[in-house]
Structure 1
Amino acid sequence: MLNVRNVIANIYKSDILRFRVAQILFIAAISFGWFIADGYRRGLFLLAILLLNKSQRKISVICHWKGLTGVTGTLLVTLFLWVTLVPLFSGMEPLPDRIEGMARPIEVFLYGVGIMIFAKDKFFEKYLSSFSVASAVFVSVFAFSRRAVLSFSVIRDDWVFGMHAALAGLIIASLLPWLLYAICEKKKTPLRKGFYIIITMVALGAIFVTYYRTIWIAVTVQLLFAIPLSYYCFNANPLNHKRLLVVLILFIAAVVGYSYHTSFIIRDRFDRLMSAGCDFKNFTNNRGEIWKDAMSLISKRKLGGYGWVSYDDFAVIKMHHPHSSYLDAAFHAGIPAGILYGMVFIASFLLALRYILTKTGPASIAYVVFLMLLATAVGGLTEAFFYESREYVVPFWSMTSLLVSPLYLKKEG
């Protein structure tokens, strides 16, 4: 690693040029972090940090956190400190396992620190957008084509990059706003916009064949908010693109119709979805009882939770998690963690919306982060994404941290 750093330093002797290279390396780490192996992502991040001099590593943005920005930043830091330290002292697992459990939140926190160092200017904004759009294209095409090769198998544990279907669906939903942004961006040629429209349909097709109603609902809510936000952010009203709407509706209708008549799984999911208003228990796969069981467990260890133990070791109804991100946070790190987790979403929503409405800072990033948070918040009502794998939590929290980064505060100041 040091040898690579020395080679780059010899090529780019200027501190400013090395900082630009470091920015690109960090952007690559979080933009492609949704699917690359942990070792590659960490290598890019470490190399980016090593290229900086001492003055470039200083973080001064926190002293500018005021008002809603200060509330959001404080909540983020408090949440990370809580889930790092509290399970260490209150966890049910042996001490070595509790120490090992600190690694994931610490890693997430370090990438948040990286955001405060690197997210400072239009250069960062430009390359983050470009890399993230490329990442969205790659993941969408790869996921859909792989499912097509497997004849759209209903097996959920053999998705892209070894992921579970729900996680793969959520990652595509988190990247989907970048495709919507690419469609709305005025600088794009009609040919490129047409390309991104096709990729968006491929992404929605990939989300559909996850066969997860939770992801379907999350993306539906996401798209409902994307329409007015696209108009406000980019003066682009998707309702005016009649051809796009017709093609999109026909594509979705064809995929849904074919799947409904050929797949028992899809037919069952749709029948349950239609029963939402009259049979809650059937619609939620008995989640009401699962949530009651989780709340009973949480009530026994209200303050500190159970640590990073497996949920099904303690649950009466044997599940891998309590089918709620908020209950999952409370189970692992206590009720305060569940409350902090929810408050971070609320504060981040409000902050992103304020940036959009006041046109403060880069509209594209506020737009994307708002829609990404929306998909996770809605999906987290019935699935647990609080303690997901690093492929998801590192890019997700890095993107969320952008809202309190110098990228916006310098615009405000």
Structure 2
Amino acid sequence: MADTLAGPVPHAPDPAPEFPMPRAARCPFDPPPALKELQREAPLTRVRLWDGSEPWLVTRYAEQRAVLGDARVSADTDRPGYPTKASPDAGEGKLSFIMMDDPEHARLRRMVTAPFAVKKVEALRPAVQRIVDGLIDDLLARSGPVDLVEAFALPIPSLVICELLGVPYDDHAFFQDSTKTMVRTTATPEERGAASREVAGYLAQLLGKRIAEPKDDLLSGIAGRVTAGEIDHRQATEMALLLLIAGHETTANMIALGTLALLEHPDQLALLRDTDDPKLVASAVEELLRYLHITHLGRRRAVTEDIEIGGQVIRAGEGVILANEIANRDPEVFPDPDRLDLTRDARRHVAFGFGVHQCLGQPLARMELQVVYGTLYRRIPTLRLACPLADVRFKNDAFIYGVHELPVAW
């Protein structure tokens, strides 16, 4: 009787869903199903991180662009509310200027912008074409299954960024192994820190040599900024580390994952295999970037003043995570978004971000992918997966999504 008089017990609010969310094993190219459900429900949702904090998760395209274009949203990891860690073992620290705000972000970014300008990148296209053709020649000289990651996807961007930076390619095994540790979510802070220090020490030594004897490369340009007193040696090393990691790890994963996606969509693969139209190749690159989007732990930001996004007020000091892979599947912007369509106009995707922090190296990445996707399948028209798709190991344990190996034959 007392319970009846007291009235019904209030319903406790549902707990915020945990982030990041698991992908569906049967759909390795798609975002987690839970992300799709959240996108259908609302553009912004509270999510819970491993440490109990509950930042806002932005899942729709328009709202993500609004957040990324707002000067009241900070990329500075030291800001209150910034959802820094992706996991308990992710470690801390800034990765050069991409985790800073203007004006310091703009000042440092301008120091390395010129080599990635579209005209400069286009001048590199013949050299990249020679690299790709040479590696394909090597593939065709072999028989039996080959790991496309090790034999093709990794060497291309590694050779290119080494040439740009002035890093000896002979050392590629060292920095590739270290980078794998740095981007592996299951690595301990000690393992990740040790790998980072090893590569940073290596680059610091190279920078010291360029300060003493400059050459015609990007490291020498960065070293010149040290000599001029514009940055110190630590900042120069961090800048070089960012460019080395971003210059090979992301593109290598897109080459391998994009190839696997095409092998699983033979009608789309045929479009690339049977064309020499650069416009179709460029369109295919944009669609694959949209469809796959290889960074799946979200771009992270902190709000410095109250803002209203998608009808929701986000308070100063609250964190925001932008799940770009689901924004690239927003049906309001990309009709039938879960379908891979190389003829689609996908140029509005947010795979490279948006606003002042959008990817500095996107012209280089686009050009490399255009050369690869426009050459590999025409030269090896019988390329096929050499194992069941279920046996392919996807990088669910890394900050950058892809495959660990890709056995192929022809």
TM-score range, shorter chain: under 0.3
Structure with higher helix content: 1
- Please report the TM-score for the alignment, with normalisation by the length of structure 1: 0.21
- Please report the TM-score for the alignment, with normalisation by the length of structure 2: 0.22
Structure with higher strand content: 2
